[in-house]
Amino acid sequence: MITRLLNAASMLALTLSGICAAAQQTPPPVYLDRNAPIEERVEDALSRMTLDEKIAVVHAQSKFSSPGVPRLGIPELWCTDGPHGIRPEVLWDEWEQAGWTNDSCTAFPALTALAATWNRDMAALYGRSIGEEARYRRKDVLLGPGVNIYRTPLAGRNFEYMGEDPYLAGEMAVPYIRGVQQQGVAACVKHYALNNEETHRHTIDVDLDDRALYEIYLPAFRAAVERGGAWSVMGSYNLYRGQHGCHNKRLINDILKGEWAFDGAVISDWGGTHSTREAAQNGLDIEYGTWTDGLTEGAGDAYDRYFLAEPYRQAILSGELSERDLDDKVRRVLRLMFRTSMNMDKPFGSLCSQEHTAAARRIGGEGIVLLRNEGGVLPLDQSKCRRVAVIGENAVKMMTVGGGSSSLKVRHECSPLEGIEARAARAGVEVVYARGYVGDVTGSYNGVETGQDLSDQRSEQELIAEAVEAARSADAVIFVGGLNKSDHQDSEGADRLSLDLPYAQNRVIEALAEVSDRLAVVLVSGNAVAMPWIDSVPAVVEAWYLGSEAGNALADVLFGDVTPSGKLPFTFPVRLEDCPAHAGGEAFPHDGKTYYAESIFVGYRGYERAGVPVLFPFGHGLSYTTFDYSDVRIDRRRIKEGETLTVSVDVTNTGSRAASEVVQLYIADPSSSLPRPQKELKGFEKVALQPGERATVTFTVDSSALSYYDDRRGEWVAEKGEFEVLVGASSADIRGRAKFSLK
Ligand code: BGC
């Protein structure tokens, strides 16, 4: 017995050593070797794949996933919206909810709010936090950030983007992307490019001159790719010069992959692919969402019928299309996988952590913009203000649900009223609420239910009378209104119909202004609105869509726990027709071919050129303290191409509160051979100052900040001659200047 046992043990030992020896003799394949360079892993995996396996990885297998290579142990790739939180799980083939109970997320402030912080550290915090949530939810690609330029205040998706200035959008996108990708999750920068309207987003054919393309609409994408190192880019729905964004030769092959040397994957917008040949040849790498209507048409074999599925395979087999193009796509897809799903060192992430809640509140508080504050209405003076009336539907309406693909299912959402009530209770301040108006009462989006019943049958007169009554008896009145992510009110797929506030809001505000001289209007929106009542309303706050912590972040600012430091990432025009995109008289939204006649004169560049007054300029935002700017200086009066210029300014907090100020640097090129804007943003820094404290803020200007895109030569040109640096608190509040020349 003993002998037999010994024999068995020694046989086991022999077998084990045999396995080990075998294992030693066959090292893992290169593509599975975490220490091998990614390019070697890519080539190794590619060399092992069959044609069918290659075809499989370049198109979707479900609403949000594409296959891996099961035979080789390469996992699937999972995408998620984006860009403000992680979208709840939908059914395999449908937009409807999958009904999971573990997919509630933290909603971060909308990207307009992030841009309004003008704080790169907030963008990094945002990227890291949302990347952790994506990672925890086992997503590989986050569909965001969106960096399309704010061309008109009617565009439905402006709230998902970062404003009208390419430099600001680029600077804020870069840390967001890096933060996401540190988690082993790819950012997917969207929507490349020229996706500036919703109504005809699938059919509008945009044309514009190359200066506008290169100077206004592309720089944020370029920054995202070249400096942010984005691992994926989403093609846009619209056409550019007759070709859809998802397979546009010039945009993708020539510019993105050519000029910017993008080595990642181009992912189609959902349903944005329209041709096998163009998709094959013009740089699309993964096709998603074709038949986005829930696949009613495609039934069981829908994914096989995608443009980059069976039709592509057949075209390769018949020699009509080349396998070389397919290999390039597969390389890019594999590179994306090795960076994300196959990254064996990635962290595990976290969902709805206290840190994420704190990040959402902090970013929200920093993004809120104090537009107007006459007579010191804000912050609420707790010693004098014993009773606050809060009026308006947006004080209670859940705003994380709705708006399109960025709609979320949240673990918690603090409404403005709840935030104000909680803070007021701590100060012993009484809060009364009145609805004021009825706007959008829907409480569900794509199957996510808010659980709110906002229906109210009262007439406009009754609602206004109740609001006025509440306001009369209060020491301060906070009206919370704006837009609301329902159709035509900041929403994907439906542009706004006018610049005006919807519903009866203007009449409510006017009625409140008659009975209260301590009225603050708080706008929850991602777009500029007209303010016909502006002269009779002492305080106006732009509070954006702030996500899970909306109410707390707002209360922080209203009660002065946080001193506002946000600045506008876009201009508020007085009238829609003042907006450069509308000034030419062309109707918006527009179907068929459209030409961006305003060229580079978008946003403040256009308002300044036309000399039209605006309601609130780009870069504007007040504080509860005051800042003095002095001694704008440059380190030399002449620079040569390739040299840099240092610009310094002393900024002093001359008030009594600790606060941050966004110091903005613009460049003017008064004598240029091509028309140029009066000034262009080329630098900004956010500086935190204690009362009385002074700091020197320094900027470095290089010739790229002086250049324009010469469309005759097809290159960036810094033209010799005189330039001016302008340093200020907004595009319209320049506090100091200095001249220099480029030799
Ligand atoms: C939107 C994208 C989104 C995608 C997936 C599309 O309709 O345009 O922004 O990422 O759907 O939901």
Q: What is the pLDDT of residues 380-426, one digit of tens each?
A: 998 899 999 999 999 999 999 999 999 999 999 999 999 999 999 99
E strand spans, 299-449: 369-373, 387-391, 430-434, 444-445, 448-449
Beta bridge partners of 192: 235
Q: Alpha carbon of 509 to those of 310, 537, 641: distances in Å?
A: 59, 8, 54
Residue 696 belongs to what H/E stretch?
strand 694-701
What is the CA(677)–ligand 1 centre distance, in A?
33
**In terms of DSSP bridges, do strands 476-482 and 539-542 run parallel, antiparallel, or are they unpaired?**
unpaired
Q: Angle at which helices 354-367 and 120-136 pack, to 10 degrees?
A: 150
pLDDT, residue 297, reads 53
Q: State how far the alpha carbon of 1 is from the alpha carbons of 7, 8, 177, in Å.
A: 10, 10, 67
Residue whose CA lies nearest to ligand 1 atom number 6 = 270
Q: How far apart are the C-alpha atoms of 60 and 377, rounded to whole Å?
A: 54
- 158 neighbors 490 (Cβ within 8 angstroms): yes
Roughly how many angstroms between the first and final C-alpha of the chain, as a whole number?
97
pLDDT in tens, 144-174: 999 999 999 999 999 999 999 999 999 999 9
The DSSP code sequence of 220-275 is HHHHHHHTS--SEEEEPSSEETTEEGGG-IIIIIIIIIIIT---SEEE--TT----
User: Ligand 1 centroid vs 446 CA: distance in angstroms?
Assistant: 13
Contact 284, 264 (CB under 8 A): no
Strands 239-240 and 205-207: parallel
Smallest CA separation from ligand 1 atom 3, residue: 405
H-type alpha helices, 453-558: 460-472, 505-515, 550-558
Q: Is residue 637 a contact partner of residue 740, using CB atoms and an 8 Å limit? A: yes
Output the pLDDT for position 446: 86
Structural contact between residues 660 and 625, judged by C-beta atoms closer than 8 angstroms = no
> Two tokens at 171?
């600077």
Which residues are registered as beta bridge partners of 266? Answer: 233
Which parts of the chain sit beneath pLDDT 50? 1-16, 18-20, 294-295
Q: Which two tokens stand for residue 320?
A: 């009509």
Q: What is the pLDDT of residue 4?
A: 42
How high is the pLDDT of residue 159?
Answer: 98
Burial of 179 (0-12, 13-18, 19+ CB in 10 A): buried
pLDDT value at position 95?
86
Range 627-742 classified under CATH 1.10.760.10: no
Name the phi and psi angles at 522, rounded to 5. Answer: -105, 125
Q: What would the two tokens of residue 297 be?
A: 């048409």
- Cα of 569 to ligand 1 centre, how many Å? 23
The half-sphere exposure of 69 on its side-chain side, counting CA atoms within 13 A, is: 25
Q: How many helices (H) and strands (E) does the chain have?
A: 18, 30
Pull the structure tokens for residue 230.
């984005």
Please list, in sequence order, all residues whose beta carbon lies within 8 angstroms of the beta carbon of residue 494, skipping any fewer than 6 positions away.
156, 198, 199, 487, 488
Sequence-ordered list of residues with C-beta below 8 angstroms from that of 439, at least 6 positions apart, any chain: 393, 394, 397, 484, 486, 489, 502, 503, 505
Per-residue pLDDT, 292: 55
Ligand 1 pocket, 143 CB below 6 A? yes
Contact 504, 461 (CB under 8 A): no
* Distance (Å, whole) CA 325 – CA 276: 12
Query: 696 pairs with which residues across the strands?
Result: 650
Residue 8: per-residue pLDDT: 45
Distance, CA of 180 to CA of 110 (rounded, Å): 16
238 lines ligand 1 (CB under 6 A): no
Residue 82 CA: nearest ligand 1 atom is 10
Distance 94 CA to ligand 1 centre (A): 14
3-class DSSP state of 119: coil
- Tallying the residues shown for the chain, one arrives at 743
Contact between 164 and 150 under an 8 Å Cβ cutoff? The reply is yes
Q: Which atom of ligand 1 is nearest to the CA of 160?
A: 9
How much distance in Å is there from the Cα of 645 to the middle of ligand 1? 42
Whether 677 and 608 have beta carbons less than 8 Å apart is answered as yes
CATH level 3 topology of 374-570: Rossmann fold (3.40.50)
Q: Phi first, then psi: give them for residue 321, nearest 5 degrees.
A: -125, 155
Task: Say if CB 154 and CB 495 are below 8 A apart.
Answer: yes
Which residues, in sequence order, are CB contacts of 90 under 8 Å at separation 6+? 63, 64, 96, 97, 98, 446
Measured distance CA(58)–CA(60) in Å, rounded: 7
Residue 198 near residue 155 (C-beta atoms within 8 A): yes
Mutate to test the pocket of ligand 1, among 266, 293, 492 (most ligand atoms within 8 A of CB): 492
pLDDT tens-digit map of 174-221: 999 999 999 999 999 999 999 999 999 999 999 999 999 999 999 999
Tell me what pLDDT residue 695 has: 98
- Quick one: pLDDT at residue 2? 39
Sequence-ordered list of residues with C-beta below 8 angstroms from that of 576, at least 6 positions apart, any chain: 153, 154, 498, 499, 530, 582
Sequence ranges of the domains in the chain: 38-90+102-339, 374-570, 627-742
- The protein residue whose alpha carbon is closest to atom 4 in ligand 1 is 270
Spatial separation of the C-alpha atoms in residues 449 and 88, rounded to whole Å: 12
Q: Yes or no: say if 480 and 519 are a contact pair by the CB < 8 Å rule.
A: no
Whether the CB of 270 sits within 6 Å of ligand 1:
yes
Fold classification of 38-90+102-339 (topology level): TIM Barrel (3.20.20)
Among the listed residues 170, 142, 134, the one whose alpha carbon sits nearest the alpha carbon of residue 231: 142
The pTM of the full predicted model, rounded to 2 decimals, is 0.96
Which ligand 1 atom is the nearest neighbour of the CA of 405? 12
Burial bucket for residue 184 (CB in 10 Å: 0-12, 13-18, 19+): buried
CB of 106 within 8 A of CB of 411? yes
